[in-house]
Structure 1
Amino acid sequence: MNTTLNEKVKSMRIHVGLPKTFWADAVSTAAYLINRGPLIPTWFKILEEEWQSKDVSLSHLKVFGCVSYVRVRDADRDKLDPKARKCIFIGYGANDMGYRF
């Protein structure tokens, strides 16, 4: 594995205090973030901007391991149940713009 990726994964996982079982999620998230980092030779554009020739928003990026609240669908709860569940953010969806908790 790439040393840069491995070091990022170690620091992300240890900083949050997650067990080693979350290693694969940390690798996926670290690779996702590295691929959206600036490229020095192209005047700080990211790969996606170069490939698509348009501006790309990074507003969807979140802090790995942060506390998040996920909405519980109406069909999955009663009237007096909480509308959200407390979770930990562990990454981004593989095929869409979703998140993994």
Structure 2
Amino acid sequence: MMEMTRSILKHMDLPNYLWGEAIRHSTYLLNRISTRALKDETPYESFRKKKPTLELIRVFGCIAYAKVDKPHLKKLEDRSRMLVHLGVEPGSKAYRLLDPQAKKITVSRDVIFNESKGWNWRSNIAD
């Protein structure tokens, strides 16, 4: 698990303080990958007795645009915020998202992803 976590952090050039989120995401992935020990069954299937859905999996650390849920937006106000994807919120179909400037995690279901881009942590902007 630590190898996957290290790879995830290095691949997207993420800061080490996100290691807990990377471990959570690694666990989420490993529970949905078949293993020889369970004879081509996933740990998720073995525990829940149903196949896991993989539609929520996105690239960890990619840019995510979350819908702004503010009532009475003015015509020219932004309708989304640029955040960093940190995986799926446990027990829901929502995503964990980090605002790198405020260092605050939010949860949202209304998200559009740009999986080919990541945050530039050196200059604190999107690449």
User: Shorter-chain-normalised TM-score: which range?
Assistant: 0.7 to 0.9
TM-score (norm 1): 0.81
What is the identity, as a one-letter code, of the residue corresponding to 1:97?
K
> For 2:29, what is the secondary structure of its paired residue?
helix
- Please give the alpha-carbon distance, in whole angstroms, between the structure 2 residues aligned to 1:55 and 1:34: 14
How far off is 1:42 after superposition?
4.0
Among 34, 57, 62, the residue aligned to 2:58? 62
Q: Of Structure 1 and Structure 2, which has the larger fraction of its residues in strand?
A: 2
Among 80, 90, 99, the residue aligned to 1:94? 90
Q: Of Structure 1 and Structure 2, which has the larger fraction of its residues in helix?
A: 1
2:103 corresponds to: none
Among 68, 71, 94, the residue aligned to 2:67? 71
What is the identity, as a one-letter code, of the residue corresponding to 1:31?
T
The CA RMSD over aligned residues, in Å, is: 1.8
What is the identity, as a one-letter code, of the residue corresponding to 1:8?
M
What is the identity, as a one-letter code, of the residue corresponding to 1:68?
A
Count of paired positions: 97
1:39 corresponds to: 35
Residue ranges of structure 1 left out of the alignment (5+ in a row): none
Structure 1 stretches (4+) deviating beyond 3 angstroms?
A: none
Q: Would the aligned equivalents of 2:32 and 2:52 in 1 still touch at CA under 8 Å?
A: no
2:44 corresponds to: 48
Among 4, 8, 14, the residue aligned to 2:4? 8
TM-score (norm 2): 0.67
Residue ranges of structure 2 left out of the alignment (5+ in a row): 98-127
